[in-house]
């Protein structure tokens, strides 16, 4: 090989090696990069289409459940909820708040096997309608059910199938250092919770004529019933620790571990509507 050909070969090899090294470096950078599954574009940015209209309606049902399908909804045929709560009162940021029972990988993890029984997403949603909303089932083939599922599917676009991504459900909570105590919890509630949820636990309604609550009631006739996840001590403690007072970051909680368990004990000790008749399997469904 002459000198000119040898030079071209060296340059070609250098380019190839350089490209390979660049690709390797880029690969390592991407390999360690976490995907933010919660960075979902706002539904208002979706283009006009029947499919996107359904997603937007699903979002409206989540953030304005009381107005859309609550007990005083304008359309009497759509009064499926038995209280004036909205899904967003618990599923914060319209289902995009980590460790506040978000919806991000919900679609990808249903149907779900629980106690050797297959539970569908429609069954899970209607369980929430009966318990948290203290109401009745949405028609499985109705537009409201279709819209909620379309919205949940939109939030979970491209999430791995069958995997609950980090932030789903609730933050794992250690056992309380001492047995949870409602009396201590009442003191915590008065100090850190009553300014929003009010001393009587009845929250704050939206300004008239809007339906529903800007701050939800924690007990009483218009709250979630005794079958809801939030009526369970461990669920309530985990939710409170990661999300309350409102706007905190779960990585920097305000309540310590004992306080979270104690205030949860106080909250679940209060009277609320009775639980509907459920199967043992339904009671074990994850939030």
We report the CATH number of the domain holding residue 145 as 1.10.760.10
Q: Is residue 284, in this structure, part of any structural domain at all?
A: no
Q: Is residue 175, in this structure, part of any structural domain at all?
A: no
- Between CA 236 and CA 253 the distance in angstroms is 15
Q: What is the pLDDT along the chain (287 residues), one digit of tens a residue?
A: 554 454 544 444 444 434 334 433 333 333 345 789 999 999 999 999 999 999 999 999 999 999 999 999 999 999 999 999 999 999 999 999 999 999 999 999 999 888 888 999 999 999 999 999 999 999 999 999 999 999 999 999 999 999 999 999 999 999 999 999 999 999 999 999 999 999 999 999 999 889 999 999 999 999 999 999 999 999 999 999 999 999 999 999 999 999 999 999 999 999 999 999 865 455 555 55
Does 47 lie in the same domain as 29? no
pLDDT of the residue at 287: 59
Q: Is residue 260, in this structure, part of any structural domain at all?
A: yes
Q: Is residue 74, in this structure, part of any structural domain at all?
A: yes
pLDDT of the residue at 2: 53
pLDDT of the residue at 21: 40
Quote the domain boundaries for residue 28: 1-33
Does 247 lie in the same domain as 215? yes
Question: How many Cα atoms occupy the beta-carbon half-sphere of 27 within 13 Å?
Answer: 6
Q: Is residue 273, in this structure, part of any structural domain at all?
A: no
- The total number of structural domains in the chain stands at 3
HEC string of the chain?
A: CCHHHHHHHHHHHHHHHHHHHHHHHHHHHHHCCCCCCCCCCCHHHCCCCHHHHHHHHHHHHHHCHHHHHCCCCCCHHHCCCCCCCCHHHCCHHHHCCCCCCCCCCCHHHCCEEECCEEECHHHHHHHHHHCCCCCCCCCCCCHHHHHHHHHHHHHCCCCCCCCCCCCCCCCCCCCCCCCCCHHHHHHHHHHHCHHHHCCCCCCEECCCCCCCEEECCCCCCCCCCCCCHHHCHHHHHHHHHHHCCCCCCCCCCCCCHHHHHHHHHHHHCCCCCCCCCCCHHHHCCCC
User: Considering only CA atoms, which of 142, 173, 195 is closest in space to residue 240?
Assistant: 173
Q: Is residue 278, in this structure, part of any structural domain at all?
A: no
Structure tokens at 168: 């789903």
Number of neighbouring beta carbons within 10 Å of residue 65: 28
Q: How far is CA 90 from CA 19, 101, 120, 240, 242, in A?
A: 50, 8, 21, 11, 12
pTM of the model: 0.85
- Between CA 140 and CA 151 the distance in angstroms is 15
Does 126 lie in the same domain as 89? yes
């Amino acid at each position: 090989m002459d000198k000119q050909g040898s030079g071209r070969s060296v340059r070609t090899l250098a380019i190839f090696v350089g490209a390979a090294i660049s690709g390797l470096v880029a690969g390592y950078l991407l390999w360690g990069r976490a995907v933010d599954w919660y960075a979902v574009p706002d539904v208002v940015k979706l283009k006009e289409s029947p499919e996107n209209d359904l997603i937007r309606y699903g979002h409206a049902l989540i953030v304005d459940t009381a107005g859309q399908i609550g007990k005083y909804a304008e359309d009497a045929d759509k009064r499926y909820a038995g209280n004036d709560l909205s899904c967003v009162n618990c599923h914060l940021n319209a289902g995009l708040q980590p460790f506040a029972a978000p919806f991000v990988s919900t679609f990808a993890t249903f149907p779900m096997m629980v106690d050797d029984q297959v539970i569908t997403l429609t069954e899970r949603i209607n369980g929430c309608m009966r318990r948290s909303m203290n109401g009745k089932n949405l028609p499985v083939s109705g537009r409201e059910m279709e819209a909620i599922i379309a919205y949940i599917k939109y939030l979970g676009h491209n999430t791995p199938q069958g995997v609950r991504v980090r932030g789903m459900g609730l933050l794992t909570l250690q056992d309380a250092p001492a047995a949870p105590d409602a009396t201590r919890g009442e003191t915590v509630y008065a100090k850190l919770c009553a300014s929003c949820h009010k001393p009587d636990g009845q929250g704050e309604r939206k300004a008239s004529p809007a339906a529903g609550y800007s701050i939800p009631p924690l007990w009483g006739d218009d709250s979630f019933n005794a079958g809801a996840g939030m009526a369970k001590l461990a669920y309530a403690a985990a939710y409170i620790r990661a999300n309350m007072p409102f706007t905190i970051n779960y990585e920097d909680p305000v309540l310590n571990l004992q306080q979270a368990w104690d205030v949860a004990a106080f909250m679940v000790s209060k009277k609320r509507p009775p639980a509907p008749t459920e199967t043992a399997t339904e009671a074990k469904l994850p939030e």
